[in-house]
Structure 1
Amino acid sequence: MGPRVSRSAWPGRVPRGAKPRATRRSPTSPDPRPGSRCSDSELKAEKDGVSDNESKVDSGVPEVPVPPDDTPEVLNKALSGLSSRWKNWWVRGILTLAMISFFFFIIYLGPMVLMMIVLCVQIKCFHEIITIGYSVYHSYDLPWFRTLSWYFLLCVNYFFYGETVTDYFFTLVQREEPLRILSKYHRFISFALYLTGFCMFVLSLVKKHYRLQFYMFGWTHVTLLIVVTQSHLIIHNLFEGMIWFIVPISCVICNDIMAYMFGFFFGRTPLIKLSPKKTWEGFIGGFFATIVFGIMLSYVMAGYRCFVCPVEFNNDSNSFQVDCEPSELFQLQDYTLPGVLESVTGWTTVRLYPFQIHSIALSSFASIVGPFGGFFASGFKRAFKIKDFANTIPGHGGIMDRFDCQYLMATFVNVYIASFIRGPNPSKLIQQLLALRPDQQLYIFNSLKAHLTEKGLLPAVEAAA
């Protein structure tokens, strides 16, 4: 047998010697009064696939209050005659169209506005997850958890955004004296900021509650890893070209919508126990619809420089610009079709952008692996017996409910670009060389000249001159 664990160390237990609080009946447990009927929450839990054994196992987990329904009164009145199933369908549909319209609007505003929107979404997602933890943590009246959580968010964002600015806008950083100093000591400053928060956490430790405090310390850091790191990768993808930002996000949105539509009308076979409403029909239908959507969207966007060019800083105009000569990835090429497709379509060749072939990989990931981000979020919500992370968007839940798959997709896109797309960037290397001292630049020039002469790329006469 293993060592005995103090009961007071677990969340939901009252420390010995403290006054017990009034016990609140779990919304998923039956009413203990004789002759009473099961609560609506219990019926819903059973409907969603939460077994009695699962409820018993999780009975020691603190529960988070379910936020009230904030569906606009106008929609409630307009859809009052419909069943709850169709009412939810219309609410989700109307709000989805509104969110897509807003997405198109911020794309029109350009990459810098998109970067700020990503930051706002990151902060809101962090707030929703931390609030769940705080509802458990606050019951013990322990100090500094919320303050330290937001402080660590500030530290991590300072580190990541500082790295991004230095990497992509090196010329701008080197031109301004304050930015140059901050860039030179950026990592030391970031470490000092984090170390300050670490010491504050140690000083906040309270006797008899150490385990819970370290539990919440880990909660904060895992949240930072999931939310902040992934949003940082989204911004990296955006700076590579807006097409690397828009196509993956749009594929996830398309898959979510089409899987819901196919599942709503044709779904019969359950897909996974974590999400009982997900069906194989919706999963497969969403996959094929997303592949077609990704190829079509890529064809439309690959023809515009504003979508395919990376974000760069122009020294002459002192502004950020998105203008370049498109690479071969975004130039139409002829491809010979395999014999099977040729016999079906009757075409020998097809004219495509190479990026469209890459879009098949992106949309396949969004359809097959991307939903597991949603399954992970479903497991998290079941652990705390909540339906959504928040009620920010009626019919959809919180912001995190909409972006649970996007963060996983962002990591894949960043790894995909680094593995199969990105190569050495001559303009970035030149910017870094120009920041060196004259003697260092001369040394690199002579070394490069000797190397090119040895390879036969530079005539020996010209090298001697």
Structure 2
Amino acid sequence: MTEVRHRGARDTEPPQQQPSEDKGSDSERKGEKYVASDTQTKVDSGVPVPPDDTPEVLNKALSGLSSRWKNWWVRGILTLAMISFFFLIIYLGPMVLMMIVLCVQIKCFHEIITIGYSVYHSYHLPWFRTLSWYFLLCVNYFFYGETVTDYFFSLVQREEPLRILSKYHRFISFALYLTGFCMFVLSLVKKHYRLQFYMFGWTHVTLLIVVTQSHLIIHNLFEGMIWFIVPISCVICNDIMAYMFGFFFGRTPLIKLSPKKTWEGFIGGLFATIVFGIMFSYVMAGYRYFVCPVEFNNDSNRFQVDCEPSDLFQLQDYTLPAILESFTGWTTVRLYPFQIHSIALSSFASIMGPFGGFFASGFKRAFKIKDFANTIPGHGGIMDRFDCQYLMATFVNVYIASFIRGPNPSKVIQQLLALRPDQQLSIFNSLKAHLMEKGLLPALGGAAA
């Protein structure tokens, strides 16, 4: 049985012709006919290559340079512009940062879904784009609803509509998703079943990659903006320094998926990023605005970033190993403990972070495209800039949960307030007895007990 190969969609070779005596059942022959009809029209050259959208002023200014140096200058100028914009949104505060994360998430989703539609547009699959955006809405409703319940509990409890939505949040989320699921089943069209299920899976994998990671980024932000800014900055630094080292010194190819990546760029970016992470963390750890958890003030109905910094952001003396002491002549150094953690963050950004880029490169090669889009001249689409950031966000969230964060008192209180009064009183008496036994609470008379 011969099956026509999906160009740009599958990398496996078509099955070999079976012996003629193995005719198969009628159902198998019908299945063969179905497969052929379902795979005849394919896009031969993948997604159309977007035109060059480099600003005309840059094209004129750099017209005398070779394409290699022109690309270097375009990337450099646009990189500085993006870094400036990044610091501007940090200055505007956590609420703006969260909105920017949501906007980036939506744009990345759009770029990936557009590729899927461009590959299979000749089939005119019904409701594909509408259902894709509907599922995005459902998943965001679920994740952001969970975030609101966790971090705005007192506000939710004050408002009756919010309290009802919070109580039945997961049921509502499931009902919304189930509605989309039924709409997809009803949209199935004869002879296009396989491709429709391809795109159903395409949408869900995109949601898993983009929306879930965006949710983790916002959770990292609530732990303190330093957990948001330092990891992102380390990825940016590694991307820039790996490009610089590779541009000037690169000779040895690193991986076939990205022929322009070199070992010189990879190693140079690693050391530069670790040094940057230590120094940048030292600067940021000295400001409460960056190290304090982002909390919602019920009195002012605004976010506030103010606290007594934890031990993680208090300067401490560390004794240097004998090897480093012989090189530096120092016996001790004064560092923030967070700087030690920044070494782990910057190392991950330099060693494992690029694999997010390699994954994206493999994806683009599968569909014969250079970039996800042409949103940023010299850089491609938003997804081209955030392919490593999403992998980094997951690591930071796991790292905080594993090595930094302890039990959350606010969540404990949320659970207690949801109990019946008799259950609350029972827990209160148990806690009081425990504190008295530990000597943390003075023993009281029988009347008080």
TM-score normalised over the length of structure 2: 0.88
**C-alpha displacement at 1:208, in angstroms?**
1.1
- Paired residue for 2:270, among 281, 287, 304? 287
Aligned to 2:3: none
Alignment partners' CA distance in 2, 1:318 and 1:216: 42
Does the aligned pair in 2 maintain the 1:28–1:39 contact within 8 Å?
A: no
- Over 3 Å counting, the alpha-carbon distance change for 1:26 and 1:415 in structure 2 is closer
Does the aligned pair in 1 maintain the 2:8–2:367 contact within 8 Å?
A: no
Of stretches 234-243 and 129-138 in structure 1, the one that deviates more from structure 2 is 129-138
Can you list the C-alpha shifts for 1:95-115, whole angstroms capped at 9, x where unaligned? Answer: 000000000000000001000
Does the aligned pair in 2 maintain the 1:174–1:435 contact within 8 Å?
A: no
Query: Secondary structure of 2:42's match?
Result: helix
- Over 3 Å counting, the alpha-carbon distance change for 1:402 and 1:45 in structure 2 is farther
- Over 3 Å counting, the alpha-carbon distance change for 1:24 and 1:226 in structure 2 is closer
Alignment partners' CA distance in 2, 1:301 and 1:245: 12
Of stretches 159-168 and 39-48 in structure 1, the one that deviates more from structure 2 is 39-48
**C-alpha displacement at 1:167, in angstroms?**
0.7
Aligned to 2:66: 83
- Over 3 Å counting, the alpha-carbon distance change for 1:69 and 1:372 in structure 2 is same
Alignment partners' CA distance in 2, 1:40 and 1:308: 69
- Paired residue for 2:378, among 388, 395, 403? 395
CA RMSD of aligned residues (A): 8.6
Can you list the C-alpha shifts for 1:151-204, whole angstroms capped at 9, x where unaligned? Answer: 000000000000011011111111111111100000000000000000000001
Matched, 1:57 2:53: no
- Over 3 Å counting, the alpha-carbon distance change for 1:135 and 1:55 in structure 2 is closer
- Over 3 Å counting, the alpha-carbon distance change for 1:332 and 1:159 in structure 2 is same
Alignment partners' CA distance in 2, 1:42 and 1:155: 39
- Over 3 Å counting, the alpha-carbon distance change for 1:317 and 1:23 in structure 2 is closer
Does the aligned pair in 2 maintain the 1:29–1:42 contact within 8 Å?
A: no
Alignment partners' CA distance in 2, 1:280 and 1:117: 34
Where in structure 1 are there 5+ consecutive unaligned residues? Answer: 1-20
Matched, 1:161 2:144: yes
**C-alpha displacement at 1:459, in angstroms?**
4.2
Query: Secondary structure of 1:198's match?
Result: helix
**C-alpha displacement at 1:46, in angstroms?**
36
- Over 3 Å counting, the alpha-carbon distance change for 1:243 and 1:67 in structure 2 is same
**C-alpha displacement at 1:444, in angstroms?**
1.8
Alignment partners' CA distance in 1, 2:60 and 2:420: 71
Can you list the C-alpha shifts for 1:51-96, whole angstroms capped at 9, x where unaligned? Answer: 9999999989xxx100101001110111000000000000000000
Can you list the C-alpha shifts for 1:336-364, whole angstroms capped at 9, x where unaligned? Answer: 00011111101010000000000000000
Can you list the C-alpha shifts for 1:388-438, whole angstroms capped at 9, x where unaligned? Answer: 000000000000000000000000000000000000122443355345554
Alignment partners' CA distance in 1, 2:161 and 2:215: 23
Of stretches 236-245 and 164-173 in structure 1, the one that deviates more from structure 2 is 164-173
**C-alpha displacement at 1:313, in angstroms?**
1.4
Aligned to 1:40: 26
Query: Secondary structure of 1:391's match?
Result: coil
Does the aligned pair in 2 maintain the 1:28–1:45 contact within 8 Å?
A: no
Of stretches 166-175 and 351-360 in structure 1, the one that deviates more from structure 2 is 166-175
Does the aligned pair in 2 maintain the 1:170–1:432 contact within 8 Å?
A: no
- Over 3 Å counting, the alpha-carbon distance change for 1:89 and 1:55 in structure 2 is farther
Does the aligned pair in 2 maintain the 1:31–1:38 contact within 8 Å?
A: no
Does the aligned pair in 2 maintain the 1:31–1:39 contact within 8 Å?
A: no
Does the aligned pair in 1 maintain the 2:241–2:269 contact within 8 Å?
A: yes
Alignment partners' CA distance in 1, 2:113 and 2:30: 26
- Over 3 Å counting, the alpha-carbon distance change for 1:184 and 1:40 in structure 2 is closer
Query: Secondary structure of 1:397's match?
Result: coil
Does the aligned pair in 1 maintain the 2:9–2:367 contact within 8 Å?
A: no
- Over 3 Å counting, the alpha-carbon distance change for 1:161 and 1:456 in structure 2 is same
Alignment partners' CA distance in 1, 2:316 and 2:33: 52
**C-alpha displacement at 1:138, in angstroms?**
2.0
Query: Secondary structure of 2:211's match?
Result: helix
- Over 3 Å counting, the alpha-carbon distance change for 1:450 and 1:372 in structure 2 is same
Does the aligned pair in 2 maintain the 1:263–1:281 contact within 8 Å?
A: yes
Can you list the C-alpha shifts for 1:201-231, whole angstroms capped at 9, x where unaligned? Answer: 0001111111111111000000000000000
- Over 3 Å counting, the alpha-carbon distance change for 1:198 and 1:105 in structure 2 is same
**C-alpha displacement at 1:40, in angstroms?**
48
TM-score normalised over the length of structure 1: 0.85
- Over 3 Å counting, the alpha-carbon distance change for 1:430 and 1:34 in structure 2 is closer
Aligned to 1:235: 218
Alignment partners' CA distance in 2, 1:58 and 1:400: 24
- Over 3 Å counting, the alpha-carbon distance change for 1:117 and 1:23 in structure 2 is closer
**C-alpha displacement at 1:439, in angstroms?**
3.3
Alignment partners' CA distance in 2, 1:69 and 1:312: 44
- Over 3 Å counting, the alpha-carbon distance change for 1:354 and 1:48 in structure 2 is farther
- Over 3 Å counting, the alpha-carbon distance change for 1:80 and 1:52 in structure 2 is farther
- Over 3 Å counting, the alpha-carbon distance change for 1:27 and 1:376 in structure 2 is closer
Query: Secondary structure of 1:49's match?
Result: helix
Does the aligned pair in 1 maintain the 2:38–2:194 contact within 8 Å?
A: no
- Over 3 Å counting, the alpha-carbon distance change for 1:197 and 1:350 in structure 2 is same
Does the aligned pair in 2 maintain the 1:205–1:213 contact within 8 Å?
A: yes
- Over 3 Å counting, the alpha-carbon distance change for 1:40 and 1:313 in structure 2 is farther
Alignment partners' CA distance in 2, 1:415 and 1:349: 31
Query: Secondary structure of 1:441's match?
Result: helix
Does the aligned pair in 1 maintain the 2:254–2:261 contact within 8 Å?
A: yes
**C-alpha displacement at 1:320, in angstroms?**
1.5
**C-alpha displacement at 1:142, in angstroms?**
1.8
**C-alpha displacement at 1:137, in angstroms?**
2.5
Can you list the C-alpha shifts for 1:14-70, whole angstroms capped at 9, x where unaligned? Answer: xxxxxxx9999999999999999999999999999999999999989xxx1001010
Where in structure 2 are there 5+ consecutive unaligned residues? Answer: 1-5
- Over 3 Å counting, the alpha-carbon distance change for 1:38 and 1:227 in structure 2 is farther
Query: Secondary structure of 1:334's match?
Result: strand
Alignment partners' CA distance in 2, 1:201 and 1:252: 38
Does the aligned pair in 1 maintain the 2:371–2:380 contact within 8 Å?
A: yes
**C-alpha displacement at 1:440, in angstroms?**
3.4
Does the aligned pair in 2 maintain the 1:453–1:460 contact within 8 Å?
A: yes
Can you list the C-alpha shifts for 1:437-465, whole angstroms capped at 9, x where unaligned? Answer: 5433322211211223344544444x955
Query: Secondary structure of 2:90's match?
Result: helix
Query: Secondary structure of 1:394's match?
Result: coil
